[in-house]
């Protein structure tokens, strides 16, 4: 462990990697700050450009984008009442009223400090808990792996979006897409339509670019451009310092822990964490009446929670191979591209890389703080970049990024097709997270299921006679059916609510 | 009533149709080899399972939507879309990208990208001519140069230019 730790330190502090962290945080900040452009989009666009880098450098770059993108969602939430990322919605409730009072700099400073503390606490949690969980997961055989991935998919489909059925349909289509290519056990081609390109399966990155980036471009083009009104008059350029956050210290720590706990649960994410933390901060505040009217405590709670999710969501991703959210799914994809299979074995075989990821989260948050302090005065300029300029830039990055995957137009065609599918999913309110995560987990689900059945001579009882897999199946049944049971119970006992 | 069901369940109808088509195509798309009795599941089992579930859930969604409509006792339901979407713009953008893919091998990255960026900016609107000219140029030649010299990614230079 000590060797891995020192290896990671030397890897992260190479000057090239420090430069990559600076570059990643800058990209993340711009994307996170622009309304409509998400951190997922930023990470997706950067991913193809990590192919030529070493796994360490590639992951370090993605970490910078992820951390800064999550924080930067607060910038447009505070300045123009439009959250750059969904997880910053709660920040807008207090941030924008402060901007209207001419105190946007203080709001942005509080958001930056709270985000950095949340991110650092989350990184420490990753360092401590991930190796422990990985040790436990080493005991998992194919039946346990199948039960776990099945449970992960179910919970992601269950909690993503408003409709459980749509979540399941999305996950099933993801599994279907994952089944294209050569069968993992017998090696026969499936749904290849005698096309050489499809023998290798549908490329994950092309799908990510299509579903997240191209679909979002279509979505933004389809929306009518709204005139942004920014109240800049009388803005005080007062930047807060560490001592200014001391009164909110307990709120920040508590919200960061909420972010970590929520982040570990697959399928949840920054949005849920920030709303829960905001609600909890309001409940326990000495001045709850200020919430929604410009409370620094509210901003601190929301921002520390959504950044508390960032590293925590990688705990199940790296140890169990179950991505906590879409960005974690892309991280998983990045590891797979570099020939690394996420899961407990990764800690045994690639301990150095694992600690590099963990330490890069700490460094990325520090770099984010430095850049954030310098960039505060430029933020209102970033969010004023018109869509007519920004969208073509992102579109060309998508097309070029897709092309670089296979040096052919096949990948671009796949990205465009999935862009259209992703756009339809946005319009018909199908969540994209289950689809993407199912594409990543698809082969693992099928392989572990079939390996288990080979071990048991075809008997499905193998999943119910092993304690860990039984527990996961019981949890799956509980997660799937508990909403119906609760609904029926509420109908019959209206007074109990 | 039927019109309202179709309107509100259009996405479920599409997923149902895709599920059925893929289900029926499995025998022609996945060949079974003799040694596959290994685990009572073969290469077709999981695709059959997935498509069956897609069909069942889509049917459930269509039925539950029609039951909901019947409960509401109206067949003139309108979508409560709060946001206006300009689908013509989206279609034009899709078309522009498709044409870029088709034209790229012939006219090369630089010219195809200048045309694509210009057309997308016109489709989005609210852009001045000099912005269109400048951005088209910035996103074509310099990006092509950077990719070739830094990342060693060579984009098509166009067959009509030899």
Last residue of a domain, one of B15, B47, B72: B72
**Which of B47, B90, B117 is the closest to A396 by Cβ?**
B117
* Chain centroid offset of residue A168 CA: 20
As a whole number of angstroms, the distance between CA A34 and CA A28 comes to 10
pLDDT at residue A242 greater than cutoff 70: no
Same domain, yes or no: B104 and B51: no
CB contact under 8 A, A191 and B51: no
Query: Residue A226: its pLDDT value, please?
Result: 45
Same domain, yes or no: B93 and B64: no
Q: Quick one: what percent of chain A has pLDDT higher than 70?
A: 90
**Which of A169, A221, A428 is the closest to B123 by Cβ?**
A221
Q: Which residues of A touch B121 (CB under 8 A)?
A: 388-389, 392
As a whole number of angstroms, the distance between CA A28 and CA B141 comes to 25
**Which of A225, A446, A458 is the closest to B126 by Cβ?**
A225
**Domain-embedded: residue B147:** yes
CB contact under 8 A, B33 and A188: yes
Q: How far is A287 from chain B (nearest CA, A)?
A: 35
Q: Which residues of A touch B98 (CB under 8 A)?
A: 416
Q: Categorize the per-residue pLDDT at A366 as very low, low, confident or very high, splitting at 50, 70 and 90.
A: very high
Instruction: Among A158, A168, A213, A396, pick the best mutation site for testing chain B contact (most B Cβ within 10 A).
Output: A396
Higher pLDDT, A133 or B38: A133
Same domain, yes or no: B50 and B114: no
Query: Residue A82: its pLDDT value, please?
Result: 67
Q: How far is B147 from chain A (nearest CA, A)?
A: 9
Instruction: Among B12, B61, B90, B98, pick the best mutation site for testing chain A contact (most A Cβ within 10 A).
Output: B90
**Which of A169, A419, A427 is the closest to B58 by Cβ?**
A169
pLDDT at residue A89 greater than cutoff 80: no
pLDDT in tens, A182-218: 887 778 889 888 888 888 888 877 888 888 889 988 9
Residue A261 CB neighbour total at 10 angstroms: 17
pLDDT in tens, B84-141: 678 899 999 999 999 999 999 999 999 999 999 999 999 988 788 888 999 999 999 9
**Which of A179, A186, A222 is the closest to B36 by Cβ?**
A186
Which H or E run includes A270? Answer: helix A270-284
Nearest CA in chain B to A187: B43
Residue with tokens 């004023």: A384
Q: Which residues of B touch A391 (CB under 8 A)?
A: 120, 124
Residue with tokens 């570059």: A23
Concatenate the DSSP letters of all residues of A187-256 into one string.
--EES-TT-HHHHT---HHHHHIIIIIIHHHHHHHHBPPPPP----TT---PPP-HHHHGGGHHHHHHHH
Mention every residue, 6+ apart, whose C-beta is less than 8 A from residue B162.
none
Q: Which residues of B touch A224 (CB under 8 A)?
A: 84, 86
Residue B85: phi and psi, rounded to 5, are -115, 135
Query: Residue B17: its pLDDT value, please?
Result: 94
Same domain, yes or no: B98 and B54: no
Q: Categorize the per-residue pLDDT at A266 as very low, low, confident or very high, splitting at 50, 70 and 90.
A: low
Task: Annotate A351-365 with b (16+ C-beta within 10 A) or e (fewer).
Answer: bbbbbbbbbbbbbbb
The residue extents of the domains of chain A are 2-225+240-496
Higher pLDDT, B142 or A133: B142
The rounded mean pLDDT for chain B is 84
Q: Which residues of B touch A450 (CB under 8 A)?
A: 39, 41
Q: Are A15 and A367 in contact (CB under 8 A)?
A: no
As a whole number of angstroms, the distance between CA A110 and CA A423 comes to 35
Q: Categorize the per-residue pLDDT at A364 as very low, low, confident or very high, splitting at 50, 70 and 90.
A: very high
As a whole number of angstroms, the distance between CA A392 and CA A395 comes to 5
pLDDT in tens, A431-446: 888 888 788 788 888 8
Mention every residue, 6+ apart, whose C-beta is less than 8 A from residue A377.
A237
As a whole number of angstroms, the distance between CA A22 and CA A33 comes to 16
Query: Residue A455: its pLDDT value, please?
Result: 83
Q: Which residues of B touch A186 (CB under 8 A)?
A: 33, 35-36, 42-43
Residue A233: phi and psi, rounded to 5, are -65, 135
pLDDT at residue A90 greater than cutoff 90: no
Mention every residue, 6+ apart, whose C-beta is less than 8 A from residue A451.
A142, A185
Last residue of a domain, one of B72, B106, B122: B72
The three-state (H, E, C) secondary structure of A362-406, written as one string: HHHHHHHHHHHHHHHHHHHHHCCCCHHHHHHHHHHHHHHHHHHHH
Q: How far is B93 from chain A (nearest CA, A)?
A: 7
CA distances from A313 to A20, A119, A444 (A): 22, 11, 20
* Chain centroid offset of residue B90 CA: 12
Query: Residue A357: its pLDDT value, please?
Result: 86
Q: Categorize the per-residue pLDDT at A61 as very low, low, confident or very high, splitting at 50, 70 and 90.
A: very high
Same domain, yes or no: B65 and B120: no
As a whole number of angstroms, the distance between CA A360 and CA A372 comes to 17
Rg value, chain A, Cα: 22
**Which of A169, A176, A399 is the closest to B57 by Cβ?**
A169
Instruction: Among B11, B102, B108, B131, pick the best mutation site for testing chain A contact (most A Cβ within 10 A).
Output: B11
**Which of B29, B120, B125 is the closest to A395 by Cβ?**
B120
Query: Residue A231: its pLDDT value, please?
Result: 45
Query: Residue A233: its pLDDT value, please?
Result: 41
Instruction: Among A171, A227, A392, A480, pick the best mutation site for testing chain B contact (most B Cβ within 10 A).
Output: A392
DSSP designation for A160: S
Query: Residue A35: its pLDDT value, please?
Result: 67
* Region A408-417 average pLDDT: 91
pLDDT at residue B42 greater than cutoff 70: yes
Q: Which residues of B touch A409 (CB under 8 A)?
A: 101, 104-105
Residue A190: phi and psi, rounded to 5, are -130, 135
Which H or E run includes A346? Answer: helix A344-349
Q: How many CA atoms lie within 13 A of B151 on its CB side?
A: 20
**Which of A183, A392, A403 is the closest to B121 by Cβ?**
A392
Which H or E run includes A100? Answer: helix A89-100
Same domain, yes or no: B65 and B6: yes
CB contact under 8 A, A424 and B98: no
Query: Residue B74: its pLDDT value, please?
Result: 54
ipTM confidence:
0.89
Q: How far is B157 from chain A (nearest CA, A)?
A: 13
Residue A339: phi and psi, rounded to 5, are 80, 20
**Which of A166, A191, A392 is the closest to B135 by Cβ?**
A392
Give the torsion through C-alpha atoms of A44, A45, A48, A54, to 10 deg: -80
Give the torsion through C-alpha atoms of A275, A279, A285, A290, to 10 deg: 80
pLDDT at residue B79 greater than cutoff 60: no
pLDDT at residue A232 greater than cutoff 50: no
Query: Residue A448: its pLDDT value, please?
Result: 85
Nearest CA in chain A to B83: A223
CB contact under 8 A, A191 and B47: yes
Q: Are B120 and A392 in contact (CB under 8 A)?
A: yes
End-to-end CA distance of chain A: 51
Query: Residue A160: its pLDDT value, please?
Result: 67
Same domain, yes or no: B64 and B107: no
Q: Which domain holds residue B145?
A: 87-161
Higher pLDDT, A155 or A108: A108
CB contact under 8 A, A416 and B94: yes
Q: Which 3 state secondary structure label does DSSP give A182?
A: strand
pLDDT in tens, A17-47: 999 999 999 998 888 877 667 788 888 888 8
Q: Are A230 and A384 in contact (CB under 8 A)?
A: yes
* Region A278-299 average pLDDT: 85
Q: Which residues of B touch A202 (CB under 8 A)?
A: none
Last residue of a domain, one of B72, B101, B118: B72
CB contact under 8 A, B153 and A454: no
* Region A311-339 average pLDDT: 81
Helices (H), chain B: 2-8, 10-29, 45-72, 87-124, 129-146
Q: Are A120 and A362 in contact (CB under 8 A)?
A: yes
Same domain, yes or no: B103 and B157: yes
Q: Are A245 and A114 in contact (CB under 8 A)?
A: yes
Q: Which of A44-48, A303-307, A446-450, B79-83 has the lowest mean pLDDT?
A: B79-83
Higher pLDDT, A272 or A226: A272
Q: Categorize the per-residue pLDDT at A224 as very low, low, confident or very high, splitting at 50, 70 and 90.
A: low
pLDDT at residue B80 greater than cutoff 60: no
Residue B88 CB neighbour total at 10 angstroms: 10
Q: Which residues of B touch A424 (CB under 8 A)?
A: 11
Query: Residue B84: its pLDDT value, please?
Result: 66
As a whole number of angstroms, the distance between CA A349 and CA A357 comes to 15
Q: Which two tokens stand for residue A279?
A: 């609600």
Q: Are A224 and A74 in contact (CB under 8 A)?
A: no
Query: Residue A230: its pLDDT value, please?
Result: 44
CB contact under 8 A, A186 and B33: yes
Query: Residue A433: its pLDDT value, please?
Result: 80
Same domain, yes or no: B14 and B58: yes
pLDDT at residue A229 greater than cutoff 50: no
CA distances from A320 to A171, A332, A346, A365, B83 (A): 19, 11, 10, 25, 40
Nearest CA in chain B to A385: B127
Residue A475 CB neighbour total at 10 angstroms: 15
pLDDT in tens, A135-150: 777 777 888 888 888 8
CB contact under 8 A, A396 and B101: no
**A263 closest CA partner among A338, A334, A330, A322:** A322
Nearest CA in chain A to B28: A191
The strand pairing partners of A190, in sequence order, are: A181
* Region A231-238 average pLDDT: 50
Q: Which residues of A touch B32 (CB under 8 A)?
A: 188
Number of domains in chain B: 2
Angle at CA of residue A323, ends A322 and A325, nearest 5°: 145
**A380 closest CA partner among A99, A42, A23:** A99
Q: Which residues of A touch B58 (CB under 8 A)?
A: 169
**Which of B29, B61, B86 is the closest to A224 by Cβ?**
B86
Task: Annotate A234-253 with b (16+ C-beta within 10 A) or e (fewer).
Answer: ebeeeebeeeebeebeebbe
Nearest CA in chain A to B126: A388
Rg value, chain B, Cα: 25
């Amino acid at each position: 462990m000590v060797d891995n730790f020192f290896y990671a330190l030397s890897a992260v502090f190479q000057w090239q990697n420090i430069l990559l962290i600076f570059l990643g945080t800058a990209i993340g900040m711009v994307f996170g700050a622009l309304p409509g452009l998400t951190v997922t989009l930023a990470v997706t666009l950067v991913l193809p450009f990590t192919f030529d880098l070493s796994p360490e450098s590639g992951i370090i770059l993605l970490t910078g984008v992820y951390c800064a993108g999550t924080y930067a969602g607060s910038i447009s939430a505070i300045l123009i009442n439009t959250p750059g990322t969904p997880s910053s919605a709660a920040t807008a409730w207090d941030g924008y009223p402060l901007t209207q009072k001419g105190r946007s700099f203080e709001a942005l400073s509080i958001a930056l400090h709270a985000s950095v503390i949340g991110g650092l606490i989350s990184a420490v949690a990753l360092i401590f808990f991930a190796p422990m969980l990985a040790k436990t997961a080493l005991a998992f055989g194919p039946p346990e792996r199948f039960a776990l991935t099945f449970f992960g998919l179910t919970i992601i489909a269950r909690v993503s979006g408003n409709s459980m059925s749509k979540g399941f349909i999305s996950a099933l289509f993801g599994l279907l897409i994952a089944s294209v290519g050569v069968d993992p056990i017998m090696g026969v081609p499936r749904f290849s339509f005698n096309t050489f390109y499809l023998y290798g399966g549908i490329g994950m990155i092309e799908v990510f670019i299509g579903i997240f980036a191209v679909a979002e471009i279509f979505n933004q083009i389809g929306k009518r451009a709204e005139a942004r009104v920014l109240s800049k008059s009388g803005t005080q350029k007062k930047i807060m310092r560490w001592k200014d956050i001391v009164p909110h210290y307990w709120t920040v720590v508590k919200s960061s822990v909420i972010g970590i706990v929520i982040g570990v649960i697959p399928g949840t994410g920054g949005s849920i964490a920030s709303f829960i933390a905001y609600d909890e901060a309001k409940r326990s505040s000495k001045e709850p009446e200020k919430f929604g009217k410009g409370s620094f405590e509210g901003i601190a709670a929301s921002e520390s929670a959504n950044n508390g999710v960032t590293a925590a969501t990688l705990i199940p991703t790296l140890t169990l191979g179950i991505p906590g959210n879409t960005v974690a799914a892309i991280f998983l994809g990045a590891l797979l591209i570099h020939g690394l299979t996420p899961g407990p074995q990764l800690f045994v075989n690639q301990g150095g890389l694992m600690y590099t990821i963990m330490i890069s989260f700490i460094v990325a948050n520090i770099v984010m703080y430095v850049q954030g302090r310098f960039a505060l005065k430029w933020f209102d300029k970033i969010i004023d970049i018109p869509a007519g300029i920004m969208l073509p830039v992102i579109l060309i990055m998508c097309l070029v990024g897709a092309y670089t995957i296979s040096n052919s137009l096949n990948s671009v065609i796949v990205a465009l097709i999935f862009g259209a599918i992703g756009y339809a999913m946005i319009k018909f309110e199908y969540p994209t997270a289950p689809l993407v995560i199912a594409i990543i987990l698809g082969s693992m689900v099928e392989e572990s299921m079939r390996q288990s059945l080979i071990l048991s001579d075809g008997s499905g009882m193998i999943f119910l006679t092993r304690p860990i897999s039984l527990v996961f199946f019981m949890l799956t049944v509980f997660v799937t059916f508990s909403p119906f049971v609760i609904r029926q119970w509420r109908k019959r006992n209206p007074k109990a609510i | 009533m039927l019109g309202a069901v179709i309107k509100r369940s259009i996405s479920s109808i599409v997923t149902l149709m895709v599920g059925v088509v893929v289900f029926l195509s499995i025998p022609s798309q996945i060949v079974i080899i003799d040694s596959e009795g290994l685990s009572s599941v073969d290469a077709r089992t999981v695709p059959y399972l997935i498509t069956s579930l897609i069909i069942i859930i889509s049917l459930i969604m269509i039925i539950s939507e029609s039951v909901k409509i019947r409960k509401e006792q109206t067949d003139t339901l309108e979508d409560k879309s709060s946001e206006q979407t300009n689908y013509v713009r989206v279609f034009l953008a899709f078309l522009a990208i498709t044409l870029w893919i088709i034209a790229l091998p012939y006219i090369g990255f630089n010219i195809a990208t200048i045309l694509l960026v210009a057309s997308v900016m016109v489709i989005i609107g609210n852009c001045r001519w000099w912005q269109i000219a400048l951005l088209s140029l910035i996103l074509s030649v310099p990006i092509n140069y950077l990719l070739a010299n830094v990342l060693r990614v060579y984009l098509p230079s166009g067959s009509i230019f030899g």
